[in-house]
Structure 1
Amino acid sequence: MRPAGPPWWGRLRRVSALVWTAVGSLAAWLWLLLGQGFFWRTDVRLPPRRDPDVWPSVCVVVPARDEATVLPESLPSLLAQEYPGRAEVFLVDDGSSDGTGELARALGRRHGGLPLTVASPGEPPAGWTGKLWAVRHGMGLARARDPEYLLLTDADIAHRPDSLRQLVASAVTGEYDLVSQMARLRVESVWERLVVPAFVYFFAQLYPFRWIARKGSRTAAAAGGCVLLRTAAAERARIPDAVRHAVIDDVAVARAVKGSGGHIWLGLADRVDSVRPYPRLHDLWRMVSRSAYAQLRHSPLLLAGTVAGLAVVYLVPPVALVAGLAAGSGTAAVAGGLAWLTMTATYVPMLRHYRQPLWLAPLLPVTALLYLLMTVDSAVQHRRGRGAAWKGRTYARPDAAPERP
């Protein structure tokens, strides 16, 4: 039998693996810090704008399914928009069972403001998600008004009175075909504070806002809660028909518009807020897991790569610091500590944007572990046929959805 070698050799191999992993994580963070579009900065807000000589007409389309709890906060804010041009609101009741449509009509009568039309398209046909079917119906109603722009906004999004005016002015000034704002999400419960800012941080890391606005860049994304879309660009990109089965519809819309030659922009919002609460971890878990595997195109290979990437980038730094100190490896401890410090520093601007305590920044590895588990759970639920389940509907994978004749 071949001798196993001196004891120090086994320890050296273990330490070397730890060192290389820690150094690899630090290298990844240095690249993310400098080479990923400065994703961690939170100064990407509505671009410079000036009031147009003639304000274009706008139709606001609001798909709504079982939104009676949030509608009293969101719908009046749309009806109260101080917009100098012609604008009206179309709320499309997507088969609600909680009286959403009736409540919307009552709110319209009570608050007045912009003209409001409430309609219902019925159940979506095969191959369509309910939200996009409702959007299609709303856009069809709006077409009779011949608007130059469409504002696609969710029923849980509240807009400050000048929100529409600023969106349109930015689109006209910058000649954008799509202007989208990442609404400020609610952060009141303990779990919201831990998970929500990280959700926006991870999104910006995946889709750096500065890259999205570049003409010729392949990066495209939007935030579905607030999307101002030029009607001509929507027709050119065949929105929403071209993305009718998309679970992550906002990114799909942005890709279709940019792919058809459109100029798009995405940034953080100051005056657009989500009013939907996610008080429990279960609520946030369901929000993320329903679409995480769809984001990975239902690919086991991409899932494995994502899990490995999250582990190396977010979990290795604290583990390397502790293990390096325990094993007496100063190199591993220093590399892990520097990687953790870089991670923490890049998260601070997002916490400031959400007005959260900065002591949450070093806890980002804990949040990343939660997202890793949510992503794996998303894949498991998709395999069981319950992946893209939302408000009583479950959607098939796009390649399994029948084509609409």
Structure 2
Amino acid sequence: MSALAWIAAVSLAAWLWLLLGQGFFWRTDVRLPPRREPAEWPSVGVVVPARDEAAVLPGSLPSLLAQDYPGRAEIFLVDDGSTDGTGDLARRLAERHGGLPLTVSSPGEPPAGWTGKLWAVRHGIALARARDPEYLLLTDADIAHGPASLRDAVAASHAGGFDLVSQMARLRVESAWERLVVPAFVYFFAQLYPFRWIGRRGARTSAAAGGCVLLRADAAERARIPDAIRHAVIDDVALARAVRRSGGHIWLGLAEHVDSVRPYPRLADLWRMVARSAYAQLRHNPLLLVGAVAGLAVVYLAPPAALFAGAAAGDVAAAVLGGLAWLVMTGTYLPMLRYYRQPPWLALALPWTAFLYLLMTVDSAVRHYRGRGAAWKGRTYARPEPAPEQR
């Protein structure tokens, strides 16, 4: 066989392994189980870190205020140095909509060694603990919750014995770039952290989705959350690993009624979202970067290249093997497109989307070595620490 055919064969073998041996990551049926309500509903402190979120709060905060929760619940929104009136807007929304009690406060600028978000989370957890809640819901300011979202998560944690229940919010897919990039973002995440593996006791794979994390308060204390992860850029994965290391049982799945209202209308917006943390995911290791780039090229770019180049050159083996690899790739992406209610033909564009992610990852490394590191909302963490490694 030609060199191109051998590369296509390696890609096909990789896809067959991903199809069957990576926790069936491509399936989208890991959801919260049917609700089994506890005899007594535990109290919950809802912590919302918010920095310059006035544009999205009207679409998210009212959904938290309106939670249909039978137990005691209170919201603590931490205004992390906003310059757009986020805190005042939150108070006005609470006055207008009523519902759950809301406390708005600000911790000031984070000290050295803390990311801004985690410093805000620390402040919010401290406020919540003054009310002695049994659970903490950590949710981002751009996340809208269905009326029974909190109720369903608490019931799932109680019935399943989970110390952490996290739902991957359904991200917005309205612009052309969002349709191309966003479903793939969740698909790639699930490939790295198969949801089925995460829910097993004693599993090594740990992850959470930072937009919606329900955490038992005693588990947070055992894991020293958030102090133990205060410098983590990928804070949701770091949080899950810390809980797992302290003996906690965790669960992660796709959300039914938890949605992000944050728009990413342009490619530049999505690029910043990915590039700010992609190299941290690789532990800022150049060798891992080279491996990731090579892996993306062989797994995602080689199949269509082998198909078209092989067909043009009369290399039947390369064309057939490349076509089969592309077919398996396309089939594994279809469930995620269905979950996001997108047309099936977008699955054929996955190699192009993977190429964009490859460029975003390289750009993330370039930013790191130029001292710009993880930049977000006016703050730059030039040399951020990676999330703690799995143990």
TM-score norm. by structure 2 comes to 0.98
AA partner of residue 167 (structure 1): A
Question: Which of 216, 220, 226 in structure 2 is aligned with 1:230?
Answer: 216
Structure 1 CA distance for aligned equivalents of residues 33 and 123 of structure 2: 31
1:175 to 151, 161, 176: 161
Please tell me whether residue 24 in structure 1 is matched to residue 13 in structure 2.
Answer: no
Which amino acid counterpart does residue 284 of structure 1 have in structure 2? Answer: L
Q: Runs of 4+ in structure 1 displaced over 2 angstroms?
A: 396-400
After TM superposition, give the deviation of residue 325 of structure 1 in Å. 1.2
**CA deviation after TM superposition for structure 1 residue 399, in Å:** 5.2
1:275 paired with 2:258, answer no
Task: Give the aligned partner of residue 177 of structure 2.
Answer: 191
Q: Which of 312, 316, 324 is matched with 1:330 structurally? A: 316
- Asked whether 1:71 is paired with 2:57, we answer yes
CA distance in 2, matches of 1:48, 1:170: 8
The Cα shift of 1:259 comes to 1.0
**1:379: which partner in 2?**
365
Q: How many residues align?
A: 386
**Sequence identity (%):** 82
Distance apart, 1:65 and its partner CA: 0.0
> Which amino acid in 1 is paired with 2:35?
R
Aligned equivalent of 1:215: 201
- Structure 2 unmatched ranges of 5 or more: 387-391
1:56 aligns with 2:42: yes
- Is 1:397 paired with 2:383? yes
Match of 1:356 in 2: 342
Aligned to 2:116: 130
Indicate the residue corresponding to 2:389 in structure 1.
none
Deviations 1:201-231 (A, max 9, x none): 0000000000000111110000000000000
Query: Does structure 1 retain, via aligned residues, the 8 Å contact 2:233–2:385?
Result: no
Written as runs of structure 1 = structure 2, the 5 A alignment for 1:248-327 is: 248-327=234-313
TM-score, normalised by the number of residues in structure 1 = 0.94
Deviation, structure 1 residue 396: 3.5
Other structure's SS at 2:2 match: helix
Partner of 1:106: 92
Amino acid at match of 2:51: R
Q: Counterpart of 1:122 in 2: which secondary structure?
A: coil
Larger radius of gyration: 1
For 2:6 and 2:100, how far apart are their aligned partners in 1?
61
Q: Does the aligned pair in 1 maintain the 2:65–2:98 contact within 8 Å?
A: yes
Letter in 2 for 1:250: D
CA apart distance, 1:398: 4.1
| Contact 1:152–1:228 (8 Å) recurs in 2 | yes
Which residue is equivalent to 1:247? 233
2:325 is aligned, of 329, 339, 342, to 339
Name the SS for the 2:302 alignment partner.
helix
User: Is residue 289–residue 387 contact of structure 1 (8 Å, CA) maintained in 2?
Assistant: no
5+ residue gaps, structure 1: 1-14, 401-405
How far apart, CA to CA, are the structure 1 residues paired with 2:351 and 2:314? 23
